Amino acid sequence: DSGVTQTPKHLITATGQRVTLRCSPRSGDLSVYWYQQSLDQGLQFLIQYYNGEERAKGNILERFSAQQFPDLHSELNLSSLELGDSALYFCASSGGGTLHYGYTFGSGTRLTVV
């Protein structure tokens, strides 16, 4: 157990639908990162939050959004889903202010859009 909790582990949904992925960071970590892993794109950085504020944005589609709540858990919302959104979505956390200890990853949510 890495200490980063992601739910659900698996999600199957239809095109056009909306889903929410949840992440609880490791205790004490203030930064949360979302990554998408697909066979053709590899690991793509989506977005980072630090202590409730958006800090960095990567290749995140406009149909996707995220937020970090006061208790530091984060949610990634994916809407108007397309077949190409099928992927593994990872959340990671770090202490914030330094990458000296690297990221800690959750076990991911596998999203299948049918």
Partner 1 sequence: AQSVTQLGSHVSVSEGALVLLRCNYSSSVPPYLFWYVQYPNQGLQLLLKYTTGATLVKGINGFEAEFKKSETSFHLTKPSANRSDAAEYFCAVSEGTNFGNEKLTFGTGTRLTIIP
Site residues for partner 1 per CB under 8 A: 2, 4, 30-31, 33, 35, 42-43, 45, 48, 50-51, 53, 55-56, 58, 90, 92, 94, 96-108
Chain centroid to Cα 39, Å, comes to: 17
Please identify, using beta-carbon distances, which residue of 53 and 62 lies nearer to partner 1.
53
Question: What is the closest distance, in whole angstroms, from the C-beta atom of residue 58 to partner 1 in the complex?
Answer: 7
| Shortest distance in whole angstroms from residue 82 CB to partner 1 | 23
Our CB check for partner 1 shows the closer of 18 and 56 to be 56
As given in the structure block, the two tokens for residue 29 are 């970590």
Query: Closest separation between CB of residue 85 and partner 1, Å?
Result: 19
Cβ distance to partner 1 smaller for residue 27 or 98: 98
